[in-house]
Amino acid sequence: MTKIMIVEDSEDIRKLLRNHLEKYGYDTVATTDFSSVLAMFERENPELVLLDINLPSYDGYYWCRQIRQHSTCPIIFISARSGEMDQVMAIENGGDDYIEKPFSYEVVLAKIKGHIRRAYGEYAARQGEKVIEYEGVQLFVERFELRYKDEKHELSKKESKLLEVLLDRGEKVTSRDRLMEKTWETDTFVDENTLNVYITRLRKKLRSMDVPFSIESVRGEGYQLRVKS
């Protein structure tokens, strides 16, 4: 049974979410101690997290970053904040999707089903593990893991997909439209600012590992990998 962790400080919303999800066969756990969200996550090991932004002690962005250091499971933000910057920050801090309050429980359920399918089900890879190598760097696609020499970094699912496309293309220029189409597929929560955020995050991770190439912008065209001289 798929386990979903709910991090929501409104008791009414928390109970309604649990009741609705359990009616459709999901196992749910919900934290009431908002100073130890990560500890509960590690103990319960859920397949997906529903995460509010406005929380006691630390906000949802903080807890998303903490979870991302340990897991690539889908994280869906649910928040009353409706600003575009809030959505950008949700992605920048490691989230996979964003739902505004008040919300339809059917929409929440549909998004959960979609992310579960992509992460673990019929859309997930089922054959032998795919590894892409480029200039000594290895991307373990299904594990969302990047390795170079003795160092490795965990990527989010979308970071891994984005880098997979770039590594496959190498020094060939890849358009922004192609990158967004290949990375987000049918997801609705995407725009050019979102792509910029992910490119920036990937660049930081590649620099921190001192890999022998960089992601370069090609004005008016897109991006390409460029091997350092």
In degrees rounded to 5, what are phi and psi of residue 133?
-115, 140
Report whether the peptide linkage leading into residue 102 is cis, meaning its omega lies within 30 degrees of zero.
yes
CA gap 137, 30 in Å, rounded: 39
**pTM of model > 0.75:** no
| CA proximity to 48, closest of 72, 69, 31, 12 | 72
| CA proximity to 201, closest of 155, 169, 166, 167 | 155
In the chain, which ranges are continuous DSSP H helix? 11-23, 37-44, 60-68, 84-92, 105-120, 157-169, 176-184, 192-209
pLDDT tens-digit profile, the chain (229 residues): 789 999 999 999 999 999 999 999 999 999 999 999 999 999 998 999 999 999 998 999 999 999 988 888 899 999 988 888 888 899 889 999 999 988 898 999 999 998 888 777 655 444 456 788 888 898 988 778 888 887 888 888 889 999 999 999 989 999 988 888 888 764 445 567 888 889 999 999 999 999 999 999 998 889 999 998 7
Give 24's DSSP letter: T
Give me the pLDDT at residue 127, please.
45
Give 5's DSSP letter: E
Give me the pLDDT at residue 143, please.
79
Domains of the chain, each with CATH number or no CATH = 3-120 (3.40.50.2300), 131-227 (1.10.10.10)
CA 26 to chain centre: 21
CA gap 26, 113 in Å, rounded: 10
